[in-house]
Structures are given as C-alpha cells and as structure tokens.
Amino acid sequence: MGDRAINSQVYKTLLARSGNKCAFPGCPNPIFNQQYVYIAQLCHIEGVAGQRYNPSLSVEEVNSYSNLMFLCYKHHKETDDESLFPVEVLKKMKIDHEAKYILSPFAVDMSHLFSLRKETEEYWKKVEIANTAHHVIPNLKIEIKTNADYTELNKELMDILTSLESLISIFDENAKRKYWEIFNLGFPNHLTKIKVLLEHMNIKFHESHLANNPNDNSIRDELEQLRKKFIDTTAKHTAYAD
C-alpha cells in the first residue's frame, strides 16, 4: 500500500494514548506483549490505498495522528469491511478508546524505530557511493536520488511515463525508420529509467513497511534481497543506451 513514512513523534503519541491495547471495543489484545515484542498493526482510517481511500488527502494528512490507530491483526482484517466500518465509525472508535487512557499514558522503548532508521540511512549512503564513486560507466550512469521519498519517486515515474507516451505517439512504420535514434535510444532509455525507479520505490516501500512491522522476518528477508540486487546490479551497472 502506498507511502507509509510516519513521523516518530506520531508513533509516540499514538502509543502513549493506546493503553497498550487494540482500539477495537472490548478487545484485550496488546500492542506489545510482555517481552515488548510488537504484535499489533498501525492502521490507517482513510487508507493509503484500498479501504476508505480518500484521494483528496495529502501524504501528511494520510499519515497524521488523527488518521491512525493501533489494532490487533484480527480486528485490522475485520475493519477492512467498509460497509460495517466506515470512516466515521473508526474515528469514533479511536476517540473513545484513547479517552480511557489519556490520563495514564503508556510508555514503551522506541529504540527499534531509531535502529531501523539508522540501518536505512547507512544503506542509502552505500547506494550513493556505489552510484557516484563506483559506477562502471560514470558518464552514462542513471542518477539515483537516495534522499527521495515515495511521493517524489512516483512523480518522477509519472513524468517519464507521460514523456514516453508522447514519444510513442510519434511512430508508425515509416516514422520508425525516419526517427531511428528516438526508437532505438529514446524508448530504451525511458524504459530503463522506469525500471530503476520501480526498484527504488519498492525498496522504499519495504523499508516503511518494516518500520511498521519490525518483527516480520518475511518483510526483512525480502527487503534484504531487494537491497542486495539494487546495490550490486542497478546502482553500479544500469546505464543509458548511447
């Protein structure tokens, strides 16, 4: 699901007002168990995509405190039913739940979030070095903007696709011969850049997803595979046709 870059202060406030319990009425399931293992899910009321998606919301609004609540896995799945749990119902559920704990805030060690952030920053620094200092064809390299977030990458991808559509509209069989350079260089280079952006966006998404579910080893394993391929192959070897 789309962008999940949630501010750490929002996490802290949500946890403090959660009572360490799923927000579903009457549910006793904790957010952190007795070993302080994160066993719940942080859920969007108006989704990044899918359930209760609201296209008028900005990324900041989607990931804001008022649009997020903690639910156990069971109730996260149940509340996917929009007919039973529209936006108004979930917002009231959140307000009623937090009202019970506002005077007795829950505290938890958030160090896992900061360790994940440090790990992420160190990885993208390695990608930057691979792309700037170690690329095998530096004058033709595809620049990787390691500080770009999901929204920026998505916009760049959309711009490239729009440009590609414009290029495609030029061609018929005669035009392909006439515009050999566009057909043999323009198209391949656009498609290659799209591939790089898609890989980049996929890693960013998995990083945010792991921060939201730090104990999910399947997410971590997939992220590590994506990272290795990206730094070993894409960052060093992918280049424009010339």
- Asked if residue 120 and residue 211 are part of one domain, the reply reads yes
In angstroms, the Cα distances linking 56 to 7, 59, 60, 157 are 20, 10, 12, 21
Sequence-distant (6+) residues with CB within 8 A of 93 are 23, 24, 25, 69
Same domain, 194 and 224: yes
The last residue of a domain, from among 30, 65, 99: 99
Mean pLDDT of 51-56: 90
The reply to whether 1 falls in a domain is no
Residue 60 lies in a domain: yes
The predicted model scores a pTM of 0.47
Does residue 83 sit within a domain? yes
Q: Are residues 197 and 125 in the same domain?
A: yes
Q: Which of 73-87, 103-117, 203-217 has the lowest mean pLDDT?
A: 103-117
Residues 123 and 72 in one domain: no
Q: What is the pLDDT of residues 146-201, one digit of tens each?
A: 988 776 887 888 889 888 888 888 888 888 888 889 888 988 898 899 989 989 98
Q: In terms of domains, do 85 and 121 share one? A: no
Question: How far apart, in whole angstroms, are the C-alpha atoms of residue 97 and residue 90?
Answer: 10
- Asked if 115 and 82 sit in the same domain, the reply is no
**Domain of residue 127, residue span:** 111-237
Looking at the 3D structure of the chain, how many domains does it have? Answer: 2
Alpha-carbon span 203 to 223, nearest angstrom: 6
In this structure, the answer to whether residues 118 and 169 fall within a common structural domain is yes
The residues, any chain, with a CB within 8 Å of residue 1's CB and separated by 6 or more, are 44, 47, 48, 49, 50
Q: Are residues 155 and 230 in the same domain?
A: yes
User: Is there a single domain that holds both residue 92 and residue 131?
Assistant: no
pLDDT at 1: 35
- Same domain assignment for residues 88 and 120: no
Shared-domain flag, residues 221 and 129: yes
Domain limit, last residue, from 99, 120, 143: 99
CB-based contact 152:206 (threshold 8 Å): no
Based on the fold, state whether residues 36 and 58 are members of the same structural domain.
yes
- pLDDT tens-place string over residues 87-107: 999 999 999 999 998 887 776
Boundary (domain end) residue, out of 39, 69, 99:
99
d(CA 240, CA 242): 6
